[in-house]
Chain A
Amino acid sequence: MIHLQPTPDQEEAAEAVASFLQAEMPIERLRPRGRELPLIRHRDQAKWAEMGALGFFGLGLEEDLGGVGLGVVEETLAFREFGRYLVAPRVLGSVLGARVAARAGRADLVEGILAGTVPVGLLLTLEDEPGTAYLVDGADAEWALTWNAGGAGLVDTAKLSDIEARESIDSTLEFAHVRLPASEPEIWVTADVDPIPRRGDLLCAAMLVGLSEGTRDDSVEFAKMRKQFNQPIGSFQAVKHRCADMATRAAAAWAQILFAVLAEKERTEDVVFQVTAAKLIATDTAIRNAQANIQNHGATGFTSEVEAHHFLKRSHLLDQVGTNQRRLRDRLLEQPAPPA
Chain B
Amino acid sequence: MRIEISDEEREFRAEARDWLEAHVPKVHRRAYVRQHDTEWQRTLYDGGWAGINWPKEHGGRGLPPDQLLIWYEECARVHAPHWGCMATALMHAGPTLIVRGTEEQRAYHLPRILKGESVWCQGWSEPGAGSDLASLTTRGDIDGDHLVVNGSKIWTSSGHLADWQELLIRTDQNATKQKGISWVICDMHSPGIEVRAIPTMSGPFDSHFAQVFYNDVRIPLTNVVGGLNNGWDVAAATLGFERGTGFIPEQLHQVEVLEDLIKLALERHKRSGYSHLDEGDIMYRLATLRAEFAAIRALTYQSISRDRNGTPGSESSMIRLYFSETLQRLTRVAIDVLGPRMMELSDDRGWTYGYLRAFPATIAAGTSDIQRNIIGERILGLPRGPKPQ
Give A238 Cβ to nearest chain B Cβ, in Å.
4
CB of B180 within 8 Å of the partner chain:
no
* Residue from the list B339, B363, B386 in contact with A229, Cβ < 8 A: B386
Tell me if A169 and B372 are in contact (CB < 8 A).
no
Besides the known contacts A175-B344, A294-B363, A330-B278, 16 further A-B residue pairs in the complex with CB atoms under 8 A apart = A37-B199, A38-B199, A124-B343, A125-B340, A128-B272, A166-B344, A167-B344, A167-B345, A168-B343, A168-B345, A227-B128, A228-B386, A238-B372, A239-B369, A301-B201, A320-B340
Tell me if B343 and A299 are in contact (CB < 8 A).
no
Tell me if A228 and B360 are in contact (CB < 8 A).
no
B interface residues with partner A (beta carbon < 8 Å):
125, 128-132, 135, 154-155, 198-205, 209, 268, 271-275, 277-278, 281, 328, 335-336, 339-346, 352, 356, 359-360, 362-364, 367-369, 372-373, 385-387
A167 CA / B362 CA spacing, docked (Å): 27
Give B328 Cβ to nearest chain A Cβ, in Å.
8
18 contacts between A and B (CB under 8 A): A32-B199, A124-B343, A125-B340, A127-B271, A127-B339, A128-B341, A168-B345, A169-B203, A171-B204, A228-B131, A228-B132, A229-B132, A299-B209, A302-B201, A303-B201, A305-B199, A324-B339, A326-B281
Q: Find chain B residues with CB under 8 A from A32 CB.
A: 199
Tell me if B360 and A302 are in contact (CB < 8 A).
yes
Q: Within residues 282 to 331 of chain A, which ones have a CB less than 8 A from any CB in chain B?
A: 291, 294-295, 298-299, 301-305, 308-309, 312-313, 316-317, 320, 324-327, 329-330
Tell me if B274 and A330 are in contact (CB < 8 A).
yes
A contacts with B: majority SS: mixed
CB of A333 within 8 Å of the partner chain:
yes
Tell me if B200 and A304 are in contact (CB < 8 A).
yes
Q: Find chain B residues with CB under 8 A from A312 CB.
A: 201
A156 CA / B135 CA spacing, docked (Å): 60
A interface residues with partner B (beta carbon < 8 Å):
32, 37-39, 124-128, 134, 136, 166-171, 173, 175, 177, 227-231, 236, 238-239, 291, 294-295, 298-299, 301-305, 308-309, 312-313, 316-317, 320, 324-327, 329-330, 333
Tell me if A309 and B363 are in contact (CB < 8 A).
no
A325 CA / B328 CA spacing, docked (Å): 18
* Residue from the list A299, A304, A305, A320 in contact with B342, Cβ < 8 A: A320
* Residue from the list B199, B273, B373 in contact with A127, Cβ < 8 A: B273
Q: Find chain A residues with CB under 8 A from B135 CB.
A: 228-230
Q: Find chain B residues with CB under 8 A from A309 CB.
A: 201, 356
Q: Find chain B residues with CB under 8 A from A166 CB.
A: 344, 346
